[in-house]
Amino acid sequence: MKYDFDQVCNRKDTDCLKWDLIGSVFGEDDIIPLWVADMDFPVAEEIKKALKERIEHPFYGYTRPGVGIVDAVVKRMKDKFDWDIEPEWVVFTPGVVPALHIAIRSLTHPGDEVLLQQPVYYPFFPAVTSSGCQIVNNGLELIDGKYEIDFEDLEAKLLPNSGLGSNPNRIKTIIFCNPHNPVGRVWNREEITKLGKMAIDNGLVVISDEIHCEILFEDNKHTPFATISKEFEQNSIICMSPSKTFNLAGLDVSSIIIPNKEIRENFINTQSGIVPGPNLFGLTALEAAYRHGDEWLEQVMEYITKNLDFLVQYTENKIPKIKVIKPQGTYLIWLDCRELGLNDNELKKFLLKDAKVGLNDGFIFGEEGSGFVRINIACPQAILEEALKRIENALNRL
């Protein structure tokens, strides 16, 4: 079937975070919200159908992921990434963020350190600090409009772990974000291998957040961290979910793939009794999405790619002081606003009060995000165009 993603749907009065909570999040009501990471597109028909069928069976008691659901995850990893996983490696959680908290608690003790690569998805910060750990930042470098891993800095940060430093073995894990939110990099095999070897050689288990793994532009290919080698597989926790790919964030479902038995058992023991499994509708949607969602996904990616081209053209032609950091993946686009000459508070105020658009402030992703903002382009193009016009007009009034 052909989907019409141009259609503007009213999401108001559905208790949705993106549109209904504008006032409490931004302190303004009449703004265009292009912030939190969900799409303003209805889901695939096959997902709706599966949910309707499940609702028709009016028993919503305790539910556990059955063989069919686990098999859908196993098959997805094989089909999309040529990754052979065993069914028992899959652990379900009601989201990737809860999984990150569990993973860190299961791998660390209070006082340990966790390495992040800023600017980065800001819920990583409390996942570290609420576990009593400290953040070590291996900041990304922006080189000629493209973000790169600073391997020299990484090596230096890991030096104490090598036994040579004064404070050995304090960094226990890294949250690796691939594809990276917000800078849009899809890390390639060589980069992943280099980072993974450094991490594993220094005793780290890598938590790889791969939630954006199926939102890829052009011929970029996603490489799951664990597919590099058996050693990588045995030293990693891979966080997968259909929620970004198929727009299911409200259904709270993700599959965490942990090949190493001991690491998996620690994760499950840490989760047990505190964080439940996903709810039955999330599981139903996951299976339908993974088995039948590809036609929708292909079309939505085509549409988002057009939106990206539109954003690039519009900013180049009409708002040239705002530079798009061209992403390889994710529908969250990182905009370099430094040429506007505004400090972070002025930029925030300008976008909200003058332009009336709700974006994510760059500085919340870490100090490297100062002067940047993140825009979500998974919306009908008319909405994106209106938001960009508002920014252009407000700039002309500045």
Ligand X SMILES: Cc1ncc(COP(=O)(O)O)c(C=O)c1O
One character per residue 262-291, x = contact with ligand X (rule: CB under 6 A): ------------------------------
Q: Least CB distance from residue 277 to ligand X, whole Å?
A: 13
**For ligand X, which is the closer residue by CB, 117 or 161?**
117
One character per residue 166-195, x = contact with ligand X (rule: CB under 6 A): -----------x---x--------------
DSSP-derived secondary structure letter, 13: T
Give the number of C-alpha atoms closer than 13 A to the C-alpha of residue 373, restricted to the C-beta side.
28
One character per residue 121-140, x = contact with ligand X (rule: CB under 6 A): x-------------------
Q: Which tokens hold the place of 308? A: 């990206």
DSSP-derived secondary structure letter, 44: P
Q: Which tokens hold the place of 321? A: 């002081």
Q: Determine if 254 is a binding residue for ligand X (CB under 6 A).
A: yes
Q: Which tokens hold the place of 82? A: 């040529």
**For ligand X, which is the closer residue by CB, 37 or 69?**
37
Taking the C-alpha atoms of residue 336 and residue 325, their distance in angstroms, rounded to an integer, is 7
Stretch that binds ligand X, among 83-91, 94-102, 257-265, 303-311 (CB under 6 A): 94-102
Closest chain position to ligand X (CB): 95
Name which position in 173, 202, 227, 241 contacts ligand X (CB under 6 A): 241
Taking the C-alpha atoms of residue 336 and residue 333, their distance in angstroms, rounded to an integer, is 10
Q: Least CB distance from residue 182 to ligand X, whole Å?
A: 8
Q: Determine if 154 is a binding residue for ligand X (CB under 6 A).
A: no
**For ligand X, which is the closer residue by CB, 92 or 314?**
92
Q: Least CB distance from residue 231 to ligand X, whole Å?
A: 24
Judge contact between 286 and 305, C-beta under 8 A: no
DSSP-derived secondary structure letter, 274: T
Secondary element (H or E) of residue 238: strand 236-240
Stretch that binds ligand X, among 18-26, 61-69, 93-101, 368-376 (CB under 6 A): 93-101
Name which position in 50, 249, 359, 377 contacts ligand X (CB under 6 A): 249
Name which position in 243, 255, 315, 328 contacts ligand X (CB under 6 A): 243
Judge contact between 264 and 91, C-beta under 8 A: yes
Residue 238 sits at φ, ψ, to 5 deg, of -105, 120
Which one, of 341, 343, 334, 398, lies nearest residue 372 by Cα?
334
Judge contact between 150 and 139, C-beta under 8 A: yes
Q: Determine if 240 is a binding residue for ligand X (CB under 6 A).
A: no
**Is the preceding omega at residue 182 within 30 degrees of 0, hence cis?**
yes
Q: Determine if 118 is a binding residue for ligand X (CB under 6 A).
A: no
Which one, of 120, 171, 114, lies nearest residue 149 by Cα?
120
Q: Which tokens hold the place of 374? A: 């993140």
**For ligand X, which is the closer residue by CB, 319 or 361?**
361
Q: Which tokens hold the place of 19? A: 């549109």
Quote the crossing angle between the two packed helices 381-397 and 294-318, to the nearest 10°. Answer: 20
One character per residue 336-375, x = contact with ligand X (rule: CB under 6 A): ----------------------------------------
Q: Determine if 96 is a binding residue for ligand X (CB under 6 A).
A: yes
One character per residue 203-222, x = contact with ligand X (rule: CB under 6 A): ------x-x-----------
Stretch that binds ligand X, among 91-99, 137-145, 220-228, 352-360 (CB under 6 A): 91-99
Judge contact between 328 and 217, C-beta under 8 A: yes
Q: Least CB distance from residue 4 to ligand X, whole Å?
A: 25
Residues that bind ligand X (CB under 6 A): 37, 95-97, 121, 177, 181, 209, 211, 241, 243, 249, 254
